[in-house]
């Protein structure tokens, strides 16, 4: 008889773990609290029937680059990537925008002339070695590195703060603003060491692979993973929240796509005190305030280049972006937040009918903040696209508590499964194996961390298989 496995949660990591176990021949059942699978990689008709909005993730550089997803037949199961002519754009107050193109040369040429050479010098080695870098980082901390020189070259810049890197490498305001926007993805204080790492990787991903969206919405990634999992014989039971591990049927191994505090709730009486204490000290990061809009025309950007990109970073200069992000880390609410913005229906006509557009945006806010950011976010967009506000037909707002209610992993609105820091990047505080026999964590709280790439789930499944087969 084959061994049985249970996976709690059907986010990208839960599904990746389930596939890893099913491929190894286990009988796998996934339990999901929500009616629809996918966790924070889901789409829904939140605003209006027939209008597809992404509930969580919208833009997928890491999914497109993921070594595990690349090994799966996801295109056979309906996943189709869409790229925009420019990868992303960053509008400025002078009415222009910095555009990032697949070509490093073309990108460098729309920075201030003084920074053209520095940009090429910084990005060429990272882009040329992107596949190696992503393999190393997605398997981090795997020691020894297979490509130590490439990693050391990356590390020299990645260990800098986002602000430090922007100021050290660039003299002009355009490159500095653009790199600050990239650095904001770290969800770290932008003066802290290693807050440049995720921005550097995202910039390299832009040149190497692009930042695509799935045709039909983020749900299509989860649907393709599910279809493949089912083809391997896997089962999914939705609308079933696991409250206590003891309620589950007998199994040989259990993987939980939840954050550490949730595991504590599900198994408190069974966990040893030292693990309980470690989890109690586990820190969650800032929250997110998210808005989906339905608008009656494309966003009227002052800088027309912005209409060529799915992703737009809205926040102006480096100084403003650093101030907004650092305020959040100090527990304050920025007056002018940095807005992560996407306009998928400009490039994917399946999202809504031709007379309307769906757009998506969020900003960081302090953990569990209940301050309504709608006016501040929309004013930031209006600043670079006068007429945006009057184009709004309808909107759906999700503050941190709404996000957590929809998906219990988003504690206090934290979309990363835990706070980010230099220490945590180097020595992850939570590993796959828990002290409970054959129980593993597989969510984005485990290495290599947040983003839709499934590598936490894949690696947790490998660790679990090694453990039960030893």
Ligand X SMILES: Cc1cc2nc3c(=O)[nH]c(=O)nc-3n(C[C@H](O)[C@H](O)[C@H](O)COP(=O)(O)OP(=O)(O)OC[C@H]3O[C@@H](n4cnc5c(N)ncnc54)[C@H](O)[C@@H]3O)c2cc1C
CA-to-CA distance for 307 and 347, rounded, in angstroms? Answer: 10
Among residues 105, 241, 375, 437, the one that binds ligand X under rule CB under 6 A: 241
Q: Contacts with ligand X in 9-28 (CB under 6 A)?
A: 9-14
Long-range contacts of 94-102 (CB under 8 A, 24+ apart): 95/302, 95/303, 96/303, 96/305, 97/301, 97/303, 97/305, 97/306, 98/174, 98/175, 98/177, 98/178, 99/305, 99/308, 99/309, 100/178, 100/203, 100/206, 100/207, 100/309, 102/206, 102/207, 102/210
Residues 44-83: x where in contact with ligand X by CB under 6 A, - otherwise, as a string: ------------xxxxx-x---------------------
Of 226, 380, 409, 434, the one binding ligand X by CB under 6 A = 409
Does the protein bind ligand X through residue 452 (CB under 6 A)?
yes
List the beta bridge partners of residue 4: 27
Which range touches ligand X (CB under 6 A), out of 3-11, 300-308, 371-379, 383-391? 3-11
With beta carbons less than 8 A apart as the criterion, state whether 137 and 343 touch: no
Which region, left, alpha or beta, applies to residue 173 given φ > 0 means left and ψ of -120 to 50 means alpha? alpha
Out of 5, 7, 18, 34, the residue judged to bind ligand X by CB under 6 A: 34
Q: Which parts of 312-331 interact with ligand X (CB under 6 A)? A: none
Residue 40 lies near ligand X (rule: CB under 6 A): yes
List of residues 6+ apart from 154 with CB closer than 8 A: 126, 129, 133, 200
User: Which region, judged by CB under 6 A, interacts with ligand X, from 5-13, 193-201, 244-252, 369-377?
Assistant: 5-13
Q: Which residues contact 405 (CB under 8 A, 6 or more apart)?
A: none
254 counts as binding ligand X under rule CB under 6 A = no
Backbone angles phi, psi at 214, to 5 degrees: -80, 135
User: Which member of 22, 288, 322, 373 binds ligand X (CB under 6 A)?
Assistant: 288
Scanning 108-116, 136-144, 322-330, 449-457 for contacts with ligand X by CB under 6 A, the matching segment is 449-457
String of contacts with ligand X for each residue 359-388, x by CB under 6 A = ---x--------------------------
In whole angstroms, the minimum distance from the beta carbon of 168 to ligand X comes to 28
Site for ligand X in 142-201 (CB under 6 A): none
For ligand X (CB under 6 A), the number of binding residues is 41
Q: Is 415 in the site for ligand X (CB under 6 A)?
A: yes
């Amino acid at each position: 008889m084959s061994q049985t496995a249970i996976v709690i949660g059907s986010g990208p990591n839960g599904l990746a773990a389930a596939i890893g176990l099913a491929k190894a021949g286990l009988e796998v059942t996934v339990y999901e609290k929500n009616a629809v699978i996918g966790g924070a990689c889901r789409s829904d008709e939140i605003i209006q029937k027939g209008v597809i909005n992404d509930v969580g993730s919208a833009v997928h550089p890491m999914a497109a680059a993921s070594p595990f997803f690349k090994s799966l037949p996801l295109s056979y199961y309906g996943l189709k990537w869409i790229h925009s002519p420019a990868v992303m754009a960053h509008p400025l107050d002078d009415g222009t925008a910095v555009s990032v193109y697949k070509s490093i040369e073309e990108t460098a040429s729309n920075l201030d002339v003084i920074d053209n050479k520095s940009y090429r010098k910084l990005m060429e080695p990272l882009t040329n070695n992107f596949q190696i870098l992503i393999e190393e980082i997605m398997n981090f901390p795997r020691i020894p590195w297979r490509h130590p020189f490439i990693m050391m070259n990356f590390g020299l810049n990645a260990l800098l703060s986002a602000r430090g890197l922007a100021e050290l490498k660039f003299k002009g305001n355009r490159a500095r603003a653009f790199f600050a926007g990239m650095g904001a993805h770290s969800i770290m204080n932008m003066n802290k060491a290693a807050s440049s790492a995720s921005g550097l990787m995202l910039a390299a991903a832009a040149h190497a692979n692009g930042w695509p969206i799935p045709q039909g919405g983020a749900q299509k990634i989860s649907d393709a993973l599910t279809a493949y999992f089912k083809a391997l014989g896997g089962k999914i039971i939705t609308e079933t929240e696991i409250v206590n591990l003891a309620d589950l049927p007998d199994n040989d191994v259990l993987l939980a796509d939840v954050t550490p505090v949730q595991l504590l709730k599900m198994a408190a009486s069974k966990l040893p005190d030292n693990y309980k204490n470690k989890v109690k000290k586990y820190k969650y990061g800032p929250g997110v305030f998210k808005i989906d809009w339905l608008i009656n025309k494309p966003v009227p950007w002052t800088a027309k280049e912005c209409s060529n990109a799915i992703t737009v970073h809205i926040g102006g200069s480096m100084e403003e972006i650093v101030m907004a992000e650092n305020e959040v880390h100090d527990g304050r609410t920025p007056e002018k937040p940095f807005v992560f913005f996407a306009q998928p229906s400009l490039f994917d006509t399946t999202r809504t009918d031709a007379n309307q557009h769906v757009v998506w945006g969020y900003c960081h806010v302090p953990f569990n903040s209940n301050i309504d950011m709608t006016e501040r976010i929309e004013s930031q967009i209006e600043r670079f696209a006068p007429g945006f506000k009057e184009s709004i037909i309808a909107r759906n707002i999700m503050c941190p508590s709404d996000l957590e209610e929809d998906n219990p992993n988003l504690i206090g609105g934290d979309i990363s499964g835990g706070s980010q820091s230099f220490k945590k990047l180097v020595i992850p505080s939570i590993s796959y194996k828990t002290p409970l026999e054959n129980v593993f964590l597989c969510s984005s709280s485990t290495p290599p961390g947040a983003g839709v790439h499934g590598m936490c789930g894949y690696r947790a499944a490998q660790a679990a298989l090694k453990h039960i087969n030893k």
